[in-house]
């Protein structure tokens, strides 16, 4: 659980938003304050004073106290702004249906710190099913308004925050490949998927569930059907489930098992018919192979 300093700790003086919200938020928006840039070495007292300054700005502009739900400093410390169940004033037209994560400072001109990105990723992850729906996407303010917010240097890091590994070494972009687009998912397709996902590239999909074999004739070589419950499945499938979950396509367990729920998520992600099974010469597999040839997943 991320430690988030309470409103009382920094000395909130104004209203806690303007309304109580019920239910989980549908979206999460990332902002920046464009206020004074504190260094990562700032003291807690300096940060508290800055949160009060941000509160004063919100109060002056909207009369509802501090605008954002949580504020994150370069130190990586987080402070509660508007309570999670109260409405803030951060994203025009969506304040009732979203929550906000705010980077304190100006990220059009400054870079976010690794600690700040790690805190944001941890909060986004912790909030799933708690403050927002498990499928709630993380978006930049600029995705829905004409604004530079949250600044290009934070906006470009949103994929890492979504994926939960900010600052993690991204897998080097794989060289273009000549994977055959044939709609059969065998070891060549798995090897390529492993390269793109950054998992060990051996072309084997370990520990899969034998009961699913017969309904998926499009899965050919390299599929290991000796799986047992709780054996962790395939690292490749688990990483792919994480990516799909971060994009709101998959709500199941990260269990490494390529079952109907995973295939439905993948089909939805690829825009092919969603039936949860892989036929021979599968359209979904062809779309996946094309995407892999372009070096993405």
What does the binding site for Zn ion look like in residue numbers (CB under 5 A)? 31, 141, 149
Are the beta carbons of 102 and 30 closer than 8 angstroms? Answer: yes
The residues facing 128 across adjacent strands are 132
Residue nearest to Zn ion (CB): 149
Are the beta carbons of 101 and 112 closer than 8 angstroms? Answer: no
Q: Which is nearest to 193 in space by CA: 166, 165, 223? A: 223
What gap in Å lies between CA 82 and CA 157, rounded to an integer? 24
The least distance separating Zn ion from the CB of residue 97, rounded to whole angstroms, comes to: 16
Nearer to Zn ion, 102 or 287 (CB): 102
Nearer to Zn ion, 94 or 162 (CB): 94
Alpha helices in 247-282 (DSSP H): 260-270
The least distance separating Zn ion from the CB of residue 93, rounded to whole angstroms, comes to: 13
Work out the burial of residue 271: count CB atoms within 10 Å of its CB; fewer than 13 is exposed, 13-18 middle, 19 or more buried. exposed
The least distance separating Zn ion from the CB of residue 149, rounded to whole angstroms, comes to: 3
Nearer to Zn ion, 112 or 259 (CB): 112
Nearer to Zn ion, 149 or 258 (CB): 149
Nearer to Zn ion, 90 or 207 (CB): 90
Nearer to Zn ion, 102 or 288 (CB): 102
The least distance separating Zn ion from the CB of residue 32, rounded to whole angstroms, comes to: 7
The least distance separating Zn ion from the CB of residue 224, rounded to whole angstroms, comes to: 48
What gap in Å lies between CA 140 and CA 164, rounded to an integer? 16
| Vertex 267 angle, CA 205 and 132, to 5° | 100
The residues facing 140 across adjacent strands are 30
The least distance separating Zn ion from the CB of residue 45, rounded to whole angstroms, comes to: 26
């Amino acid at each position: 659980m991320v430690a988030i300093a309470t409103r009382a700790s920094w000395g909130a003086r104004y209203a806690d938003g303007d309304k109580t919200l019920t239910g989980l938020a549908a979206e999460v928006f990332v902002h920046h304050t464009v206020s004074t840039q504190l260094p990562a070495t700032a003291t807690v007292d300096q940060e508290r004073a800055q949160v009060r300054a941000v509160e004063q700005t919100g109060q002056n502009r909207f009369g509802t106290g501090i605008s954002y739900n949580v504020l994150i400093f370069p130190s990586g410390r987080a402070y509660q702004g508007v309570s999670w169940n109260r409405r803030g004033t951060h994203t025009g037209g969506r304040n009732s249906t979203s929550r906000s994560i705010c980077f304190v400072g100006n990220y059009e001109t400054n870079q976010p710190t690794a600690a700040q990105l790690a805190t944001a990723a941890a909060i986004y992850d912790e909030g799933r099913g708690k403050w927002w729906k498990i499928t709630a996407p993380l978006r930049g303010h600029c995705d829905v308004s004409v604004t530079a917010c949250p600044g290009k240097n934070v906006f470009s890091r949103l994929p890492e925050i979504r994926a939960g590994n900010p600052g993690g070494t991204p897998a080097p972009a794989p060289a273009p490949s000549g994977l055959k687009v044939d709609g059969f998912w065998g070891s060549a397709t798995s090897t390529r998927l492993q390269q793109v996902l950054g998992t060990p590239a051996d072309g084997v999909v370990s520990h899969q569930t034998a009961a699913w074999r017969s309904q998926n004739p499009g899965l050919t070589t390299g599929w290991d059907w000796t799986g047992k419950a709780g054996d962790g499945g395939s690292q490749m499938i688990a990483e792919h489930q994480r990516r799909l979950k971060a994009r709101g396509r998959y709500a199941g367990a990260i269990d490494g098992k390529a079952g109907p729920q995973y295939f439905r998520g993948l089909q939805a992600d690829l825009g092919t018919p969603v039936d949860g099974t892989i036929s021979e010469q599968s359209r979904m597999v062809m779309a996946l192979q094309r995407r892999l040839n372009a070096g993405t997943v």
